[in-house]
Amino acid sequence: MTTILTLAAVAVSLAGLIYLAATDPKRRRAFNLPPCSRRLALFAWIVVFAPGATLLATEQTAAFVIWLGAGTIAGWLVAAKAPTPGASAKSQ
Amino acid sequence: MALSQVRTKRLVAIHGWSGVILGLLLYVVILTGAVAVFSFEIGSWSASGTKSAEPFARPFDETLRRLAESVPATYHDDISVFPNSAGHIVAFLHTHTTNAEGDPDEKGVLFEVHPKTHAILAQREGFASEIFGVDPWSALDEFLVELHVNLHLPDPWGLYATGILGLLMLASAISGILIHRHLIQDLFVAPRLSSRLLNARDRHNLAGTWSLPFAFVLAFTGAYLSFALSLGLPTIGAVAFGGDQVALIERLIGVREAEDPTTAPLANIDGMLAASAEAGGTAPRGFIVRHWGRADATVTVSHLPAEGDLTAAQQLFDGPSGRHLGPKPGIGTKPSAGSTILGLIFPLHFGNFAGVLSRTVWFALGLVSCYVTLTGLRLWMARRDEHPVWRRLARAVAVVGYGLPIAIAGSGIGFFLSLPAEQTLFWTPAAFSIASAVAIGVGLVVHKDRTLARIYRLMLGIAFIALPLLRMGLGGFGWGHLMESGNGKVVAFDLVLLIAGAGFLVAAAGLASRAAKEPRAADGIAAK
């Protein structure tokens, strides 16, 4: 149960992190990509943190701590990958 | 927080110099810590699987009585029973005393019992400091854990060293936050490619930023564990217990204050283990009987955390009646904030609260911290690479960076090669030293950076692939038998090593083909 909950929580947060990375203004500037016309940053951050809050609220402390650890690794891996030129066209 | 330019420069100097002076040692502690997260699995893997997933599945009461009757009554003070990584049940019947050096120690008889047949596999008598850690099957995992815990330095200097390194990691994390002005803005900025130096800085900053929360947690809990054992307990013992460390430990453990030496037989231990499993939510992992055969006897049963929990409660029983007295805090006899906090420090540092999943995440967090340490060192050297001394130090970073995992894999090779002759206690550390010397020798002989990296990757690839082959080839069980006996984790471990080994070989080949395409660039690096 802990494994399934953790993986599901990390997957949801990962989706939010990927969106935030793809639309991040400084990242786009650094790689000469055009800025995004619309960025739902607040909503994306809620998506990132909501699984953790849910795990805490349901007293799944082990899953919460693993989610926190796995989330930071996932965030680093997402951010460390340089954007591809194809990504710019999609997110415009 | 905006800092003046002077203060920022000062902090950069502290951050950099502390890293340069102790960074490589910190890397050793972090990487061995990441590996030690799997110490139990490594022990089980090196012994080709555990004999039983649940050590007390077969009733143990009769065997325990037989063991107790076979030792002097002085060793009935405490009886600790727990499984080792090979799945054997270890029973240590002992008393608390001081050893020849005058240090508090436990003296008694240690039995290793087969979990299914209850046959006695080994028996040793003496002080705990002498009879533990001499089992040839546990040599590899114990060597790696000791390397992480005290760098194989004598007590208490090893613990002081790792404690200081933990504090250094904490200081680096704090100074890193203060000097990185755009921590949040740069959260998603991938390492830029415009210059080599900027790219190196971005790599270090990005990994450092994302790993900050756990760098704090791991550094603080690590420093706490090192200093609590080496400094905290002896100091409290000296101040509050007049130097009587045995009394201190008894107070911390929470033994009953009222002693009753009247003879009284212990109730059936299997009944208590069954009741504990019901109360604790998981199968018992071990138990301690205090004052065997006396009216004031107690039994404390320990468990792994229940599904979804971070910590596990111990269950306390009255020895003569077998009555369940309730959960027992880790410290003292009543629940307290200190006991709760201490209960959290262990799972947060070891990551062992949710099986392989939590251990895998903790291992990955350890690797990220290694990456931060090495990229920080390389960044510092890259900024000064016009000076020959810094260039040589940059070479040392590469040698230690690759050399340590090569040496760890080498210790595993030494373990398996010496296992048939049961000489693992000598050859596991010896092989680590030999592999370290080979890695250093290669670093001294090969001058081209890219060639050096290629050779190291090749060595890592070959060593990783050799490990499972040696395990199976030198008397270990094959995959079919392991799967049938419920030791799928050993097979998974073999597969991870084979995949990692293949990955390093591919990476070495990748460097070779890049060198062939860019011979000038490779030579340029060599010229430095």
Ordered by start, the domain boundaries in chain A are 2-91
Indicate the DSSP class of residue B191: P
**What pLDDT is stored for residue A38 in this prediction?**
86
pLDDT, one tens digit per residue, over B18-40 is 888 888 999 999 999 999 999 98
pLDDT above 70 as % of chain B: 95
Whole-angstrom Cα Rg for chain B: 26
**What pLDDT is stored for residue B525 in this prediction?**
40
pLDDT exceeds cutoff 70 at B522: no
Closest CA to B309 of B284, B343, B276: B343
User: Residue B187 and residue A75: Cβ atoms within 8 Å?
Assistant: yes
**What pLDDT is stored for residue A88 in this prediction?**
46
Cβ pair B126, B98 in contact under 8 A: no
**What pLDDT is stored for residue A90 in this prediction?**
43
Cβ pair B285, B352 in contact under 8 A: no
CA distance B265 to B55: 24
Over residues A32-53, mean pLDDT: 93
Residue of A nearest to B214 (CA): A69
Structure-model confidence comparison of residues B190 and B9, the more confident one = B190
Q: Is B405 left (phi over 0), alpha (psi -120 to 50) or beta?
A: alpha
Over residues B138-162, mean pLDDT: 92
**Chain B: residues touching A (Cβ < 8 Å):** 185-193, 203, 206-207, 210-211, 213-214, 305, 307-310, 347-348, 351, 353-354, 357-358, 361-362, 364-365, 368
- pLDDT bin (cut points 50, 70, 90) of residue A86 is low
pLDDT exceeds cutoff 50 at A92: no
Q: Respond yes or no on whether the N-terminal peptide bond of residue B156 is cis (omega within 30° of 0).
A: yes
**What mean pLDDT, rounded, does chain B reach?**
89
CA distance B82 to B111: 11
Indicate the DSSP class of residue B228: I
Position of tokens 């102790």?
A: B22
User: Residue A26 and residue B188: Cβ atoms within 8 Å?
Assistant: yes
Rounded to 5°, the CA angle B90-B74-B156 comes to 65
User: Residue A1 and residue B188: Cβ atoms within 8 Å?
Assistant: no
What is the enclosing helix (H) or strand (E) of B436?
A: helix B424-445
User: Residue B188 and residue A63: Cβ atoms within 8 Å?
Assistant: no
Strands (E), B329-396: none
pLDDT exceeds cutoff 70 at A87: no
Strands (E), B54-159: 78-83, 89-98, 104-113, 120-127
CA distance A49 to A67: 10
**What pLDDT is stored for residue A89 in this prediction?**
40
Over residues B172-185, mean pLDDT: 86
pLDDT, one tens digit per residue, over B466-491 is 999 999 999 889 999 999 988 899 99
Nearest CB to A62 within list B186, B214, B308 = B308
Structure-model confidence comparison of residues A7 and B8, the more confident one = A7
Rounded to 5°, the CA angle B424-B427-B431 comes to 135
The token pair that represents A70 in the structure block? 């796995």
Give the pairing type, strands B104-113 and B78-83: unpaired
What is the enclosing helix (H) or strand (E) of B449?
A: helix B449-473
pLDDT, one tens digit per residue, over B345-399 is 999 999 988 889 999 999 999 999 999 999 999 998 888 888 888 888 889 999 9
The token pair that represents B238 in the structure block? 């000296």
**What pLDDT is stored for residue B194 in this prediction?**
79
Cβ pair B85, B490 in contact under 8 A: no
Cβ pair B269, B287 in contact under 8 A: yes
**What pLDDT is stored for residue B520 in this prediction?**
53
CA distance B289 to B507: 53
Structure-model confidence comparison of residues B493 and B238, the more confident one = B493
Closest CA to A55 of A46, A65, A45, A44: A65
Task: Give SS3 for B458.
Answer: helix
B249-276 burial, b if ≥16 CB within 10 A, otherwise e?
ebbbbbbeeeeeeeebebbbbbebbebb
User: Residue A20 and residue B188: Cβ atoms within 8 Å?
Assistant: yes
Distance from CA of A82 to the nearest CA of B (A): 5
Over residues B114-120, mean pLDDT: 92
The token pair that represents B139 in the structure block? 């040599």
pLDDT, one tens digit per residue, over B256-288 is 567 888 999 999 999 999 999 999 888 899 999
The token pair that represents B364 in the structure block? 């990955």
Nearest CB to A66 within list B307, B358, B368 = B358
Indicate the DSSP class of residue B50: -
Cβ pair B187, A61 in contact under 8 A: no
Q: Is the ipTM of this complex over 0.95?
A: no
Closest CA to B156 of B233, B72, B246, B264: B233
Cβ pair B282, B306 in contact under 8 A: yes
pLDDT, one tens digit per residue, over B65-90 is 999 999 999 999 999 999 988 888 99
Residue A27, chain B, CB below 8 Å: the answer is yes
Give every CB contact of residue B376 below 8 A, 6+ residues apart in sequence.
B16, B19, B23, B172, B204, B208
